[in-house]
Structure 1
């Protein structure tokens, strides 16, 4: 493996001359080469390759081809053909005009090295290091984050299709691993029942027929699981990867009666969505819903710089389960930005990324001001009752006492945790004080005739109160308007780069796709920034751009 990157002055003379003639105004590929002679180096990928053996293709070239591939939304075959046939790509890669390129399978092998080496973020992080050294992105500025859904590569299956196809896929996998053992276990009817994919048109059409077929499949699945759990089952059969999804699907959708026959579980008996399988071909793909939209797949969080004096570059992407709430990723995003040396001073997000604990820990651990709206306090039923809401009770933190609007002090102060395990403080008032109060009916309807107040510990309480107060500040509302720009970034990623549909199976590979997409978007943005191309406030089509240029 060569460890010396090719510099701009080492581009073959003939390639440079023809590229200048063919592209007098330059393409993104040629302009990138002119601006960055060493965007990637072989040393950046040295840990992914063995030190001994036959030298391979230069990793820096494969990295750049991968980014260009995502920039133009090409398949592996199309990208390999572009390396062989396109002058601007040859110029960017420093190749001779007669260079034959490489087989397209090399690109999938390179991605496999990134996954195996736990280096899925390497393409983006290395690019950001180079851009940071050039002053194109900086720390302690402003950044913003939002998320969008990603559809899984595997087809979402109806429940009857799911159980049938899961069993069929397991039988196929076992037939490849332990054919002799499976031949002795399989029942004769299985060969006809599970010979083909479980397409919906192959299944019974009547409700009664589908219910009976579901129980038949359930019995077949239990028979296979019993055989796998028997003492004589080979270890290779139990270790087959397809067996785990089978166990999960059966525990989700079936229960065994006392006589051993299967029963179809009702929806209320199902475990949480994070413990279910949507497809045997991608067990990490999960179902989720948001504001009436349903999908099976993943969720990607995109963070970008939004300072006026720097390029609007994506600084981090994080891919996770579809059903995971946004605020579960806030701390991880800050930790990743800290590792890159790209923490912002102000981080603009929507309410999904903010809670009381995150407001405190973001400031305490990273010096980041988390700028986003917080949920309002729950409102009581009538206007009269609203005179006795929590905000009207005064808290004496030093003396650990709460005073109600009528001037009565609480008699207990207990620190504990709520149902989710978060720390909470409860203050309870005297039964005699509340019982004699003329406004008790407006304050509490508790059977024990006394009021209880629950609130966060002091740091979280004060941070939450300050966040609620600033939401009414016109100056803050004006500053917070900068968050809206992340919607345009997500729109660009979805419409121009295919961000919302996974090319690959599994969360790690889908995450690599999102990293490559972010790197490609950064490449285009940096070239436009250095070329002086003004930012468009709205998306401009190529046809509309013709009218503007005329």
Structure 2
């Protein structure tokens, strides 16, 4: 059962003894005075439905610890050590000065209960209510969208390591798999979690090992296909099938395209949305830019640029169309604690948010995109871009800079072909032997209009340059000094989304305090 906060002062109360040493206007002082208003015990009653058992800690205390833990980026043992030894934490949590702390697994248990509940982000929601009560966002009609890459908490595994780990998991969790593997699968000593001892600099030896491991995996997958299994066993078998197929291809000279002669090799490509670890199957390769590559997750935020307050956040797998910045960013605007203006928000974003689909979705939702268009890349350096071609959507035609007209196909392509022969502008247009061809985006008109508006509207560019960079300040707060919070502590999107929301709750409290947050008889306000 949940513990209850004491209403009166305690013996050796830390706040009474040394509370004056805690800086006024700090998160510690705020929690010391108002933690039970922010996080009342009743807010967590549903986590302990039975009402039986030894009382746990009060919800206000645990919520305060979790906020401080994520705000200072501490592990569970480090957070408990702070509860035990840091006077600021004792004051914030209302604990006596001789309080010895508690076991770190207490924090683990509370997080698990929160994540399994109907309202896992209730701490984040409680701070959003504070933001709404202050009215700090009233009249603020701009929102900036951005994303940040977080490194995962596990090591990236190569193909062989993943195959061995997945087979060992199937052996543990699928009934009967251990017997099948012992009888029919001999590519590896499955009691050994490490890699086999082979001549790793010998390509032939590597290919033989890969073929043997993949074939063993296929034996197991085929052997249990159609068998009724519980959820854990099904997940283990599905993961084995995935890692056995995502990184391999038939070896040279193999019969057919399915490796039917039993020979496989490491594929000479990277599978889309590749699983990079059997320990955290939701971690992905991240290409934030062409030259900047990481492994992990992508955090998405919406920020009010004048105050620096986060108004929405989400964390997703780093790959996949459904997890693109533009797709997730639109959903963040719906989380805003302040109802948007009748004509929508002015939405500021970098070129990642400037896709045709994103602009159409933002406009369709009533918002005004203030997004820097992606630069056009001409086919010939310094030559014509797609904007130099005139498009008549009504007639379905494209006219080149030399006046040649071509019909658009059903797939929205136009080929000028023989018309490019002898064209005096060809050197500025194409180097293709068969002449110029272009493909138009489904939202080509909207993209053209956005590029033209950006080039001609100085006020639009000034608004972007003035307000959009402010989101970088909030991102810097999010990732912490020297980027120490880029490394996540948990596995999977659910656990790390909870962490992101809780950290943002702490950051918003700190920012509100800097803006003059006070508690009045009528509620929260800014001085």
Matched residue SS, 2:486: coil
- C-alpha distance in 1 between matches for 2:437 and 2:74: 64
Matched residue SS, 2:468: helix
2:196 counterpart of 1:210: no
Conserved 8 A contact 1:120-1:511: no
**Residues 89-488 of structure 1: pairs in structure 2 closer than 5 A:** 89-97=89-97, 101-117=101-117, 119-138=119-138, 140-171=140-171, 173-174=172-173, 178=175, 182-183=178-179, 185-187=181-183, 193-198=189-194, 202=197, 204-207=199-202, 208-229=204-225, 235=229, 239-254=233-248, 262-268=262-268, 272-274=271-273, 276-289=274-287, 290-307=289-306, 310=307, 312-324=308-320, 328-342=324-338, 345-365=345-365, 367-381=366-380, 386=384, 390-392=386-388, 454=440, 456=442, 460-461=446-447, 463-470=449-456, 473=458, 476-477=461-462, 479-488=464-473
Conserved 8 A contact 2:162-2:277: yes
- C-alpha distance in 2 between matches for 1:191 and 1:266: 16
Shift of 1:513: 2.1
Matched residue SS, 1:194: coil
Matched residue SS, 2:146: strand
| One of 490, 494, 499 as aligned partner of 2:485 | 499
- C-alpha distance in 1 between matches for 2:421 and 2:160: 62
- C-alpha distance in 1 between matches for 2:394 and 2:504: 49
TM-score, with structure 2 as normaliser = 0.78
2:42 counterpart of 1:61: no
Conserved 8 A contact 2:362-2:369: yes
Conserved 8 A contact 2:145-2:302: yes
Aligned equivalent of 2:522: none
Aligned equivalent of 1:540: none
Conserved 8 A contact 2:301-2:310: yes
Distance 1:445 1:133, change over 3 A: same
- C-alpha distance in 2 between matches for 1:243 and 1:117: 28
CA RMSD of aligned residues (A): 4.4
Distance 1:245 1:473, change over 3 A: same
Conserved 8 A contact 1:154-1:281: yes
- C-alpha distance in 2 between matches for 1:479 and 1:6: 51
- C-alpha distance in 2 between matches for 1:223 and 1:371: 55
Matched residue SS, 1:379: coil
Matched residue SS, 2:125: helix
Shift of 1:111: 1.4
Shift of 1:144: 2.3
- C-alpha distance in 1 between matches for 2:185 and 2:442: 61
Shift of 1:68: 0.8
Conserved 8 A contact 1:69-1:75: yes
- C-alpha distance in 2 between matches for 1:439 and 1:412: 22
Aligned equivalent of 2:88: 88
Aligned equivalent of 1:73: 73
Aligned equivalent of 2:507: 521
- C-alpha distance in 1 between matches for 2:283 and 2:211: 25
Matched residue SS, 1:288: strand
Distance 1:57 1:351, change over 3 A: same
Matched residue SS, 1:33: helix
- C-alpha distance in 2 between matches for 1:480 and 1:135: 26
Distance 1:69 1:380, change over 3 A: closer
- C-alpha distance in 2 between matches for 1:246 and 1:69: 36
Distance 1:474 1:341, change over 3 A: closer
- C-alpha distance in 1 between matches for 2:247 and 2:328: 34
Shift of 1:278: 1.5
Conserved 8 A contact 2:248-2:267: no
Matched residue SS, 2:372: coil
TM-score, with structure 1 as normaliser = 0.75
Q: Deviations over 1:253-278 (max 9, x none)?
A: 4467669653224524x57331x322
- C-alpha distance in 2 between matches for 1:390 and 1:263: 46
- C-alpha distance in 2 between matches for 1:524 and 1:81: 22
Distance 1:475 1:35, change over 3 A: farther
Where in structure 2 are there 5+ consecutive unaligned residues?
519-527
Shift of 1:246: 0.9
Distance 1:492 1:161, change over 3 A: same
Q: Deviations over 1:450-501 (max 9, x none)?
A: 998846558625642444325x737624642432333343334334474321
Q: Greater share of helix residues, 1 or 2?
A: 1
- C-alpha distance in 2 between matches for 1:520 and 1:297: 23
- C-alpha distance in 2 between matches for 1:181 and 1:444: 59
Matched residue SS, 2:485: coil
Segment of structure 1 superposing worse, 110-119 or 84-93: 84-93
Q: Deviations over 1:407-429 (max 9, x none)?
A: 78x68577x5x5xxxxx6x7899
Distance 1:213 1:118, change over 3 A: farther
Shift of 1:351: 0.6
Matched residue SS, 1:304: strand
